[in-house]
Homo-oligomer: A and B are copies of this chain.
Amino acid sequence: MDTGSFNPSRRQLLKMIGQVAGAAAMYQAMTSLGFAQDSGYTGQVALQGPRQGRRVLILGAGVAGMAAAYEMRRAGYEVKILEYQNRHGGRCLTLRGGDRYTEMGGHEIACNFEGDGYFNPGPWRLPVHHRAVFDYCRRLGVPLHPFIMHNEKAYLHSSRAFGGQPQRVGQVATDVRGHVSELLAKSLDQGGLDETVSTEDREKLLEGLREWGVLDHNLRYGTNTDLGGVRGWEVPPGGGLMPDQKASNPLELSPLLQSGLWDQLFNFNGYSYSSPMFEPAGGMDAIADAFAREVSDTIQFNARVTRIAQGDTSVTVTYEDRDRDGMMREETADWCICTIPLSVLAQLDVDCSEPMRRAIAAVPYASAFKVALEFKRRFWEQDDWIMGGISYTDLPLVQIAYPNYGFMSDGPAVLQAAYDTSTAGKNFTYSWSTMTPKERVAAALALGRQIHPQYDAEFMNGTSWVWHRVDWSLGCYGQWTEQLRNVHYKTLCEIDNRLVLAGEHCSHLPAWLEGALLSALDAIRQLDQRENT
């Protein structure tokens, strides 16, 4: 470690403070307010409100629909929400012990958790730059706590490498940095990059690689006596007369490259997954519940929309009232905000322009599955020292996510024991979607015990969720391609006569709550603008 040659005296320090204080005014212009905006959310939406009484019919009591209702009513519009299910929240839901759901195909999903663990089949983590979500949580009083996305103690696992033994995330990351640094340092040393890197930069680069990659004086990785302090220990530093510490041994370059574990590290690369992430305390549905506290009086449940008809100045929605023996009813309003997933909407009778009709039909829906398992104890914490976070594997369960609440508690706890979507990595979703609920739990158990052999002794029960078997969403989220966006996205998001769509499918953030919220905010901005021009 550099112990530093710059050690200003008290007087020098006080003088330095005087100098920089003068610079503060100038700097003010470059402060946080000058940073790139980083979110489409620019603070609480300011609607002008209707110039006369206006009625807005909202289809779907998910987060987009409820946010639209909340803001439109605040601005003076009369709102009503029609919701197909007997619950609010849409895909923002949480399963707890006692919950039941019959999926398409007739199988019952039963959640029989005995402890206070829970399972979020849909959204489950919030990036801090999703400012709309955070601001609504603040305004509506939803407490958030850290969701540990990046746990260096969690595992990367390949069934075909290192004898199937899981490796710690942090150790693989250290080894990647080390080997890459050694190779680049060697190359610089050989003069291979003299035309690309100036002499001055070369010195800084070598200095940086040495520290970043924990290289020794000969710029080699794996032999530095400081390695334990970065990579961890085979024999840890102890107290008193405990045995002498000994650094852990790095994975060698070639087996590491061939193992595929580096690829698993890329799961932490995404900006959407950068640390820290957050989650609502007690389950993701806390966000849906918070909106429902504001707008539940505007929601009519068990209303299955069959037709959206438009006139020049109004919109009429026909729906089956399943609370009244399936009686067909109509609601008329000045505007309609429709948040029904495109996968469902494409099958309804909708009056709209031909380009809008094509846009609604164009977007396929991603598939996704999750399995959750309840265990008698937190063996991942007690035996493996994994406190929250996610392990990745090449097995078809793809990832195991550990709970970020109830740390160190006794008694049962729930793992998200398998999760994949059809747009990420290898696509195992169709195979899981065709299994029965029982088979899914059995599969997650049989596969997961390769990473956590404690599964067999500690298993209590499990549940699952397969988005393509959910009749009210018929898939997980809009699976846009660049090509589809070029042709259809603008049409889909523009007002079509008296109708405007909202939901994650009307955003550049598919699958994220932030996309649902921003789409709702843009839809109501458009409506309010139209009202006032």
Chain B residue numbers with a CB within 8 Å of A30 are 163-165
Q: Which of B37, B208, B396, B426 contacts A257 (CB 8 A)?
A: B208
Nearest B residue to A427 via CB reads: B4
Chain B residue numbers with a CB within 8 Å of A187 are 183-184, 187, 192-193
Determine whether the beta carbon of B134 is less than 8 Å from that of A408: yes
Chain B residue numbers with a CB within 8 Å of A449 are 21, 24
Q: Which of B40, B159, B242, B385 contacts A238 (CB 8 A)?
A: B40
A238-B522, A239-B518, A450-B24 known; A396+B13 contact, CB < 8 A: yes
Does A341 make an interface contact (CB < 8 A)? no
Interface centre among A150, A153, A238 (most CB of B within 10 A): A238
A3-B423, A187-B187 known; A152+B274 contact, CB < 8 A: yes
Copies of this chain, how many?
2
Does A428 make an interface contact (CB < 8 A)? yes
State the CA gap A408–B146 with chains docked (Å). Answer: 12
Chain B residue numbers with a CB within 8 Å of A278 are 387, 407
Which residues, 209 to 264 on A, are CB-close (under 8 Å) to B? Answer: 209, 211-212, 214, 228-243, 245, 248, 253-254, 257-258, 262-263
What's the minimum C-beta distance from A276 to chain B, rounded to whole angstroms? 5
Determine whether the beta carbon of A236 is less than 8 Å from that of B38: yes
Chain B residue numbers with a CB within 8 Å of A138 are 408
Determine whether the beta carbon of B232 is less than 8 Å from that of A10: no
Determine whether the beta carbon of B427 is less than 8 Å from that of A3: yes
Question: What are the interface flags for A473-497 relative to B under an 8 Å C-beta threshold, 1 for contact and 0 otherwise?
Answer: 0000000000000000010011000
Question: What are the interface flags for A1-15 relative to B under an 8 Å C-beta threshold, 1 for contact and 0 otherwise?
Answer: 111101111101110
Pairs A–B under 8 Å by Cβ, sample size 29: A8-B396, A8-B431, A14-B435, A14-B443, A20-B447, A20-B450, A23-B450, A24-B449, A28-B453, A36-B248, A38-B233, A40-B237, A129-B232, A144-B408, A145-B146, A146-B276, A148-B276, A153-B276, A176-B208, A184-B187, A190-B192, A201-B257, A211-B266, A212-B265, A212-B269, A230-B269, A237-B515, A239-B518, A240-B507
Nearest B residue to A33 via CB reads: B383
Determine whether the beta carbon of A453 is less than 8 Å from that of B201: no
Question: What are the interface flags for A518-533 relative to B under an 8 Å C-beta threshold, 1 for contact and 0 otherwise?
Answer: 1111110110000000
Chain B residue numbers with a CB within 8 Å of A85 are none
Does A346 make an interface contact (CB < 8 A)? no
Chain B residue numbers with a CB within 8 Å of A37 are 234-236
Chain B residue numbers with a CB within 8 Å of A36 are 232-235, 248
Chain B residue numbers with a CB within 8 Å of A12 are 431
A153-B129, A239-B515, A518-B239 known; A10+B434 contact, CB < 8 A: yes
Does A306 make an interface contact (CB < 8 A)? no
What's the minimum C-beta distance from A429 to chain B, rounded to whole angstroms? 9
Given A239-B517, A241-B494, 10 new contacts (CB under 8 A): A6-B426, A8-B396, A30-B163, A148-B276, A170-B271, A180-B181, A183-B187, A184-B187, A187-B193, A239-B515
Nearest B residue to A231 via CB reads: B271
Interface centre among A30, A233, A257, A522 (most CB of B within 10 A): A257
Which residues, 81 to 130 on A, are CB-close (under 8 Å) to B? Answer: 128-129
Which residues, 279 to 296 on A, are CB-close (under 8 Å) to B? Answer: none
Does A502 make an interface contact (CB < 8 A)? yes
Determine whether the beta carbon of A209 is less than 8 Å from that of B236: no
State the CA gap A45–B179 with chains docked (Å). Answer: 40
Chain B residue numbers with a CB within 8 Å of A471 are none
What's the minimum C-beta distance from A45 to chain B, rounded to whole angstroms? 12
Does A328 make an interface contact (CB < 8 A)? no
Does A458 make an interface contact (CB < 8 A)? no
Determine whether the beta carbon of B236 is less than 8 Å from that of A270: no
Determine whether the beta carbon of A404 is less than 8 Å from that of B180: no
Chain B residue numbers with a CB within 8 Å of A150 are 150, 275-276
State the CA gap A475–B27 with chains docked (Å). Answer: 37
Determine whether the beta carbon of A266 is less than 8 Å from that of B522: no
Determine whether the beta carbon of A232 is less than 8 Å from that of B38: yes
Determine whether the beta carbon of B388 is less than 8 Å from that of A276: yes
Determine whether the beta carbon of A237 is less than 8 Å from that of B507: yes
A269-B230, A508-B237 known; A10+B435 contact, CB < 8 A: yes
Does A197 make an interface contact (CB < 8 A)? yes
Does A355 make an interface contact (CB < 8 A)? no
Determine whether the beta carbon of A24 is less than 8 Å from that of B456: yes
Q: Which of B18, B134, B201, B507 contacts A254 (CB 8 A)?
A: B201
Q: Which of B209, B431, B526 contacts A240 (CB 8 A)?
A: B526
State the CA gap A203–B498 with chains docked (Å). Answer: 56
What's the minimum C-beta distance from A376 to chain B, rounded to whole angstroms? 16
Chain B residue numbers with a CB within 8 Å of A257 are 201, 204-205, 208
State the CA gap A293–B392 with chains docked (Å). Answer: 41
Determine whether the beta carbon of B240 is less than 8 Å from that of A519: yes
Chain B residue numbers with a CB within 8 Å of A197 are 183, 253
Does A196 make an interface contact (CB < 8 A)? yes
Determine whether the beta carbon of A183 is less than 8 Å from that of B212: no
**List of 9 A-B pairs having minimum Cβ-Cβ separation, nearest first:** A240-B522, A239-B518, A40-B238, A237-B508, A239-B519, A4-B426, A192-B192, A239-B507, A187-B187
